[in-house]
Structure 1
Amino acid sequence: MKLRISMFYLFLYIGMGSFMPFMSLFLNERGYDGATIGIILAAGSLTGIAAQPIFGLINDAARDYRTLLKVSSFLSAIVAFGFIFSHAFIPMMITAIVFSFLNTPAGTIVDAITVENGPKFGFTFGQVRLWGALGFAFITVIAGYVYSAIGYHYSFLAFSFFAIIMFLLMFTFPKLERAKRPEVLGKEVLGALFTNWHFGLFLGITLLISGSVTMNFSYLPIYFQKLNYPVDLVGWNFTIAAVVEIPLFWLSAKLIRRIGLFPMLILGIFAYAIKYIVMGFAPPVGVVLSLQALDGLAFAFYFSSAVEIVNLMAPKHAKATAQTLFAAAGGIAGIVGNVVGGLIVDQQGPQYLFLLMGGIVLLGTLLFIFFPGKRKYQLVINDTNGTEDTSMSH
């Protein structure tokens, strides 16, 4: 079972890496300006957010989780061709919306199945999710060279190929018990979360960070194009970041134990700020590529600590809901970031966009440095001797 899930993650993220980092270049190749690109990307993101609870309910009602994953993989492979044949704005928007709706379940459902069933089969989430990161790192560096030579529309052919592999792989999976139904977003649960004003403040600050991170992911290829850097090197940006984050995610528990949750969070966000500000001055392309190591460090530090902080802030009966709200906040920030980023690229250029992103993230860093009551959010980690070690924010 471990091998099957590992291979599913591998092909899932190879498929995603084959087109996602190059989506803005594909749309630019089709003649869309920055503002329109932002609208199309935002529409896809919004659809993905809306689709998650719908497919969560379907998955809860389904007798066999494999059916939904088969449908998602197969139909996504077909709908991806819509991008190739769409040129006008309306067909492109419809394709982006339908594709995002159908493609959403794959990652979320397999994550839930892995977390629920991993212990029974003797593996952890990290052990199999690692293959996804490796697949993403592998494909992005190759795809950057290939698409710059033959055209970015071929990225959707690549995605469809790997989606069909996922579809076929599903036939080898055994029937498993479904993941447990998550907590319902009721008044009682939401009230318990938002009466803790620390949680609301934390979400508010992370909105600033997530919006900037999304703008970086969406408009980094346009940054390369407009500043006349070799566009075939775009894939290396994402590969370098992914390669750096893999070992740091693996080491995250030890790092949290050593320095604490909030210090680790602050270091990660500050790394984002440095990267964005330096890129705003259009340094040589070698420096830009080197800065992507900061992106990998930032994501690993920020995400691994933020998830734990959200978990500690939430009451016992609302922890899953808190994580859902945290993820949703990031998605909403991404939608705003895509739209605003497209407008800024058109009006002021990519350098101004990255300087602005750096300033926003630097503000987020300062807000977390002075975050009230951060000392009380500490993580208890079991060490190798079975005793408990307390990681505390300083």
Structure 2
Amino acid sequence: MQALPYWRLSGFYFLYFAFVGAFTPYWSLYLKSLEFSAFQIGVLMSLLQVCRMFAPNLWGWLADHTGKGVGIVQLAAGMSMLTYLGVFAGNSFAWLFCVMAIMCSFWSASLPLMESITLRHLGEKAEHYGRIRVWGSLGFVVAVIGLGYVLDNAPIKALLWVVLGLKFGIFLFSRFVPEPRPKPYQNNAGPIWSIIKRPEVSAFLIAGFLMAAAHGVYYTFFSIYLVDLGYSKGAVGWLWSIGVVCEIMVFLWMPKLTAKFGLRNILLASFFLATVRFVMIGFGAQWVVVVVLAQTLHAASFGSYHAASVALIHRFFHGRHHAKGQAIYTSTTFGLGGTLGGLWSGWMWEPAGPALTFAVSSVATLVAFVLLYRQLRLQAA
């Protein structure tokens, strides 16, 4: 039996999400320093999700077709690092649009493939996914807190060099991840569309789309919102990290939570608490205690939601459809949902204001909750 490469997988997740912790909260502040409008910022930040609509499906198909998922992760990580160098060559909207679009086309391949690789290494112990994924959350916390203090005392352009260093680390660490041993395919000869058309699968994907769309305003404007309300960048970093620390606890507890409550109930609770969270942020961010409480709910709106979703994708899509299943989930949720979320939030932010924009997010997650309650029926889940 192939030994689980725990530290090599965990190290990759640590560096990957350290990049996310540097990029997602602070890149919008860099774009704002270039005097881009809210809509332009929304467009550029949405590129992270636009590329997730298409690229993961291509990379997932190649991984399933060639059986060389790790090699594709290495290629994607290297090309993402090289194309990112373009941010040092110009800062116009058109130039950054092109650079970020190309970079994200490669970057978007890494995570869904690594999720598939990790689950294949885990085999029948998929419930222990959280014990590896938790290192990604730790990487996010280290990056978001550390950079918050750095950017309080250094120009925002320092962010560009930090991100480059993290991209190099991701590429370097990808060289140490082993390819999981192939397993014979069972009970999966049918077309992948026959899986997607099942009511519980389609409902799950639509709900994931709505969850990602609801988070568009959070990932694009949360840092800007807090800074405009008078929070320091260091405080912003700590507030982001509170959510991820709570997420870490959920990842560690996920096997026990799943055994006690089941995946369906965990997902329903995640969507309901996400609705509460967006209302709190939209209407109470001027009070620190409200923001802190809202950030603890990140444990539900991302932590328990993501862990349960990965487990369900692993259950729905088997064998030769495994990497494609992860890619479809990424494309429809983080890709299509995240793209539209970033775009509509950029369109609404200035004319409608933060409260109404976050209120729309809460409506989206509430609709998803109702859909899952009606359609998601799982045996022994």
The interval holding the TM-score normalised by the smaller chain is 0.7 to 0.9
Letter of the 2:163 counterpart: F
Letter of the 1:262 counterpart: R
Gap change, CA 1:322 and 1:69, over 3 Å in 2: closer
Kindly indicate whether residue 268 of structure 2 is the aligned counterpart of residue 279 of structure 1: no
Letter of the 2:272 counterpart: F
Write the distance in 1 (CA, Å) between the matches of 2:51 and 2:161. 22
**RMSD of aligned residue pairs (Cα, Å):** 3.5
Q: Which moves more between the two structures, 100-109 or 208-217?
A: 100-109
Which residue pairs with 1:89 in the alignment?
93
Gap change, CA 1:176 and 1:280, over 3 Å in 2: closer
Kindly indicate whether residue 215 of structure 2 is the aligned counterpart of residue 218 of structure 1: no
3-state DSSP of counterpart to 1:280: helix
Gap change, CA 1:106 and 1:310, over 3 Å in 2: closer
Which residue pairs with 1:326 in the alignment?
329
Which residue pairs with 2:76 in the alignment?
72
* Displacement after TM superposition at 1:284 (Å): 1.2
Write the distance in 2 (CA, Å) between the matches of 1:266 and 1:247. 19
Counterparts of 1:253-332 in structure 2 under 5 Å?
Answer: 253-282=255-284, 283-308=286-311, 323-330=326-333, 331-332=335-336
* Displacement after TM superposition at 1:11 (Å): 1.9
1:183–1:320 CA contact under 8 A, matched in 2: no
1:277–1:359 CA contact under 8 A, matched in 2: no
What TM-score, normalized by structure 2, do the two folds share? 0.84
Which residue pairs with 2:247 in the alignment?
245
Write the distance in 2 (CA, Å) between the matches of 1:278 and 1:126. 27
Counterparts of 1:50-69 in structure 2 under 5 Å?
Answer: 50-59=54-63, 67-69=71-73
* Displacement after TM superposition at 1:211 (Å): 0.5
Which residue pairs with 1:193 in the alignment?
196
Gap change, CA 1:297 and 1:203, over 3 Å in 2: closer
Write the distance in 2 (CA, Å) between the matches of 1:19 and 1:78. 16
What is the aligned counterpart of 1:363 among 358, 363, 367?
367
Which residue pairs with 1:204 in the alignment?
206
1:223–1:351 CA contact under 8 A, matched in 2: no
3-state DSSP of counterpart to 1:228: coil
Write the distance in 1 (CA, Å) between the matches of 2:215 and 2:115. 22
Counterparts of 1:317-356 in structure 2 under 5 Å?
Answer: 323-330=326-333, 331-356=335-360
* Displacement after TM superposition at 1:264 (Å): 2.1
What is the aligned counterpart of 1:32 among 36, 46, 65?
36
Letter of the 2:160 counterpart: F
* Displacement after TM superposition at 1:304 (Å): 3.1
Using CA pairs below 8 Å that are at least 6 residues apart, which structure has the higher relative contact order?
A: 2
* Displacement after TM superposition at 1:59 (Å): 4.2
What TM-score, normalized by structure 1, do the two folds share? 0.81
Segments of 5+ residues of structure 1 without an aligned counterpart are 380-390
Write the distance in 2 (CA, Å) between the matches of 1:181 and 1:22. 43
* Displacement after TM superposition at 1:91 (Å): 0.2
1:343-384 Cα distance to aligned partner (Å, 9 max, x none): 111211222211222233233334444x14x5x4132xxxxx
Which residue pairs with 1:46 in the alignment?
50
1:43–1:96 CA contact under 8 A, matched in 2: yes
Letter of the 1:141 counterpart: I
Kindly indicate whether residue 6 of structure 2 is the aligned counterpart of residue 6 of structure 1: no
1:187-233 Cα distance to aligned partner (Å, 9 max, x none): x4314532x33433343333222210232122211211333333332
Write the distance in 2 (CA, Å) between the matches of 1:113 and 1:129. 12
1:127-159 Cα distance to aligned partner (Å, 9 max, x none): 333222211112111112212432333223112
Gap change, CA 1:181 and 1:191, over 3 Å in 2: closer
* Displacement after TM superposition at 1:28 (Å): 1.2
Write the distance in 2 (CA, Å) between the matches of 1:202 and 1:71. 31
Write the distance in 2 (CA, Å) between the matches of 1:215 and 1:189. 32
Write the distance in 1 (CA, Å) between the matches of 2:129 and 2:200. 29
Kindly indicate whether residue 368 of structure 2 is the aligned counterpart of residue 378 of structure 1: no
1:236–1:289 CA contact under 8 A, matched in 2: no
Write the distance in 2 (CA, Å) between the matches of 1:205 and 1:175. 32
What is the aligned counterpart of 2:105 among 93, 98, 101?
101
How many residues are treated as equivalent by the alignment? 375
* Displacement after TM superposition at 1:8 (Å): 2.4
Write the distance in 2 (CA, Å) between the matches of 1:303 and 1:180. 27
1:16–1:159 CA contact under 8 A, matched in 2: no
Quick check: which has more Rg, 1 or 2?
A: 1
Segments of 5+ residues of structure 2 without an aligned counterpart are none
Letter of the 2:153 counterpart: A
Gap change, CA 1:316 and 1:6, over 3 Å in 2: closer
1:83–1:153 CA contact under 8 A, matched in 2: no
Percent identical: 21
* Displacement after TM superposition at 1:323 (Å): 4.7
